[in-house]
Amino acid sequence: MNYSGHLVQAGDGTPGPAAVSQAASSVRWLLNDFLGSVAGVVDAVVVSSDGLLLADSRDGSRSEQLAAIVSALTSLAAGAAGSLARGAVKQTMVTMDQGHLVVMAISDGSCLGVYASLECDLGVVAYQMALLVERAGHALTPQVRSELHRAMAVR
């Protein structure tokens, strides 16, 4: 994968308002590849440490809502970990009647939130999330985070 910083252009060859660098595009690609290759995963988002949606797997209407939920869960879990003095939170999971919401920390302070069906293999989902977190952590430089946020805002 090329993280050169070249802009990805619109379909007609001209840079559009949502044109992003190759590094930012690769974060989106990693997320969509994850969604397409891990059985049972319905939706996924990357959320910055301050709660902003950086990337989503569906360009769907629920991405902002999922990002807000992921941000709130991350904050609540961090508060609990602080109160219990047991170190940083690595993963948070909520199991509902019809699915699972799993949140994992990314090294830069952002997090990956995944909604998966109840029938999924949680071990496989968690393993694949850990791989994605490692890959995304290398790509999410401050410049790329800022670029992704701007691109999501103009969508």
CATH code of the domain in which 33 resides? 3.30.450.30
Q: What's the pLDDT at 136?
A: 83
Q: What is the pLDDT of residues 17-68, one digit of tens each?
A: 456 788 888 888 889 899 999 999 999 999 998 889 999 986 566 888 999 9
Percent of the chain with pLDDT over 90: 49
Range of the domain at 78: 7-153
Q: What's the pLDDT at 62?
A: 85
- Residue 88 vs residues 18, 102, 150, 152: alpha-carbon distances, Å: 34, 16, 29, 28
Residue 5: pLDDT band (50, 70, 90) is very low
Mean pLDDT of the chain: 84
Specify the number of domains making up the chain.
1
In angstroms, the CA 84 to CA 10 distance is 49
- Residue 155 vs residues 18, 66, 132: alpha-carbon distances, Å: 7, 17, 24
**pTM of this prediction?**
0.82
2-23 average pLDDT score? 49
Q: What's the pLDDT at 101?
A: 97
Q: What's the pLDDT at 142?
A: 81
In angstroms, the CA 139 to CA 105 distance is 14
Position 41 in a domain: yes
In angstroms, the CA 133 to CA 78 distance is 18
Position 1 in a domain: no
76-82 average pLDDT score? 93
